[in-house]
Structure 1
Amino acid sequence: MNVLIVDDNVSAAELLQELIVLQDHQARCAHTAQEAIDAFSQDSYDVALVDLTLPDRPGTEVAQHLRSNAGDRPLLLVAISGYGAGDAAGAQAVPYFDHYLQKPIDFDALDRLLARPASA
């Protein structure tokens, strides 16, 4: 799988990237919404892990852009946030994503998501 990690916390994104690569996947980090949009236009991704709070745009806007530009490619969108899915900010984001992982990320849960076919 090719995974796009979108998180403005550089250290957290790079650690997540390392863990994903150790699981025999490819991963690229983007630290702003614009970097994510640019990366998505340059490569094909199966999964996008998108932080909800980015410095230049909300993660929900990134998710909408990626989904609308995925074409026929299956894309698994996963929200990653310090907010829980039951918090107001998290609840507003849920409709834009296929899954929601609260920080600190449960790596076993992430592994289960990455083990699924892209269309699941």
Structure 2
Amino acid sequence: MAAMTIDTAAALVLVVDDSADAAESLALVLELEGFRTLTAHDGRSALDRIGQERPDAVLLDLGLPDLDGVEVGRRIRALADGDGILIVALSGHGGQDDLAATRAAGFDAHLVKPVDPGRIVALLGAPRGPAADPGTPIAATWSKTR
């Protein structure tokens, strides 16, 4: 499989955060960078949005009120075209157990809040595909980013 990149001009990014202010703020920043965005504030509505409009990327908080973000990520990966969606954990949860859980669920990256929006934009535009070491996610984003 060849490396894939997200075309900023056409990319649709779903921002999922139970804080409406946080989701809307990040969506606005991404729109200023040329992305199209959707928002959701819980796991079930995120999965509904994905079913209605297939996003290219999902920025996913882990501490959601209904389904936790890890379960949402797992369900995205289980979709017929789920492997084609970039899934990034964007959460205040960054302990070793959290990192292991998102990695096991198939997330592409795990960023710990607060994160510079420029780092998110760079990650969305970075090529992705099979890494030389399957245990090393794209852009070495599994470490805390502050």
TM-score if structure 1 supplies the norm length?
A: 0.88
Q: Distance in 2 between matches of 1:114 and 1:72?
A: 16
Letter of the 1:40 partner, please give it: I
- Residues 29-71 of structure 1: CA deviation (Å, up to 9, x unaligned): 0001111011000002110011111000110110011111152
Take 1:40 and 1:114, find their aligned partners in 2: how far apart are those partners? 17
- After superposition, where does 1:1-120 map in structure 2 within 5 Å? 1-71=11-81, 74-84=84-94, 86-96=95-105, 97-117=107-127
Unaligned runs of 5+ residues in structure 1 are none
Give the Cα separation in 2 of the matches to 1:91 and 1:14: 28
Q: Give the unaligned 5+ runs of structure 2.
A: 1-10, 130-137, 139-146
Larger CA Rg, structure 1 vs 2 = 2
Query: How far did residue 73 of structure 1 move?
Result: 6.2
Q: Supply the distance in 2 between the matched residues of 1:78 and 1:72 (Cα, whole angstroms).
A: 13
When you count strand as a share of all residues, which structure comes out higher?
A: 1
TM-score (ref. length: structure 2)? 0.74
Q: % of aligned pairs identical? A: 37
Q: Aligned residues, how many?
A: 119
- Where in structure 1 do 4 or more consecutive aligned residues deviate above 2 Å? 86-96, 116-120
